[in-house]
């Protein structure tokens, strides 16, 4: 079992690094999180009942490790107002579009996690519900709410960029 876990993690290391990086926005911290998650996976490999759920199981470990890290560092911004205060005065750069990763930072931790698992990792909603320990209907409604929040952020950026180029 240990070899299957190690081989799987090695084959998918970039995917898990991207998940960690999307939370902490720092290369070294993301690498530390992945390393900690690997240690946890090896330590608790006996809790994995079915190898078919290895991806779901390890995603849950990565996400929980990110959450623990952010709680310890007190670096997670969960509200729009706090995010705006941290940016300062706007600068107008015709070549700097509002990126999806920046838009994701305006979602709650739960919303961001569901969006990342669904669209960055192509997980089924049922798998996400299992990872998040939530009902499938809760995951669906949270995903819908998150997409509804992202839409105006991304549309405004698109309109603004198109307007500046005219």
Provide the percentage of residues in the chain whose pLDDT is more than 90: 25
pLDDT of residue 39: 92
pLDDT of residue 87: 46
Tell me the mean pLDDT in the region 18-29: 88
Pairwise CA distance, residues 25 & 3, whole Å: 30
Pairwise CA distance, residues 133 & 127, whole Å: 10
Alpha helices per DSSP H over the chain: 2-11, 13-24, 27-43, 54-73, 80-87, 100-104, 109-115, 125-132, 136-165
pLDDT reading at 82 higher than 80: no
Pairwise CA distance, residues 5 & 159, whole Å: 46
C-alpha 30, offset from chain centre: 12
pLDDT reading at 165 higher than 50: no
Residue partners of 102: CB distance under 8 A and separation at least 6: none
Domains and CATH numbers, the chain: 1-76 (1.10.1740.10), 77-166 (1.10.10.10)
pLDDT of residue 156: 66
pLDDT reading at 163 higher than 70: no
CA torsion sign, 26 to 27 to 28 to 33? Answer: positive
pLDDT of residue 135: 94
pLDDT reading at 84 higher than 60: no
Q: What is the pLDDT of residues 85-112, one digit of tens each?
A: 444 444 443 333 446 777 788 888 899 8
Residue 48, SS3 per DSSP: coil
Exposure b/e, 130-165, CB count within 10 A at least 16 = b: bbbebeeeebeebbeebbebbeebbeebeeeeeeee
pLDDT of residue 117: 87
Residue partners of 127: CB distance under 8 A and separation at least 6: 55, 56, 117
pLDDT reading at 124 higher than 60: yes
Q: What is the pLDDT of residues 24-69, one digit of tens each?
A: 888 999 999 999 999 999 999 988 888 888 888 999 999 999 988 9
């Amino acid at each position: 079992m240990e070899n299957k876990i190690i081989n799987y993690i090695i084959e998918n290391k970039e995917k898990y690094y991207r998940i960690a990086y999307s939370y902490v926005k720092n290369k070294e911290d993301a690498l530390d999180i992945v390393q900690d998650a690997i240690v946890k996976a090896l330590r608790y490999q006996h809790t994995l009942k079915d190898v078919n759920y290895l991806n779901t199981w390890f995603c849950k470990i990565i996400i929980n490790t990110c959450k623990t890290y952010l709680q310890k560092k007190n670096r997670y911004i969960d509200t729009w107002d706090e995010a705006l205060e941290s940016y300062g005065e706007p600068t107008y750069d015709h070549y700097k579009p509002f990126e999806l990763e920046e838009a994701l930072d305006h979602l709650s931790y739960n919303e961001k996690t569901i969006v990342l698992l669904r669209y960055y990792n192509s997980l089924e909603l049922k798998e996400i519900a299992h990872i998040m320990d939530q009902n499938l209907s809760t995951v669906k409604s949270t995903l819908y709410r998150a997409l509804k929040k992202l839409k105006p952020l991304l549309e405004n950026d698109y309109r603004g960029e198109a307007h500046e180029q005219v």
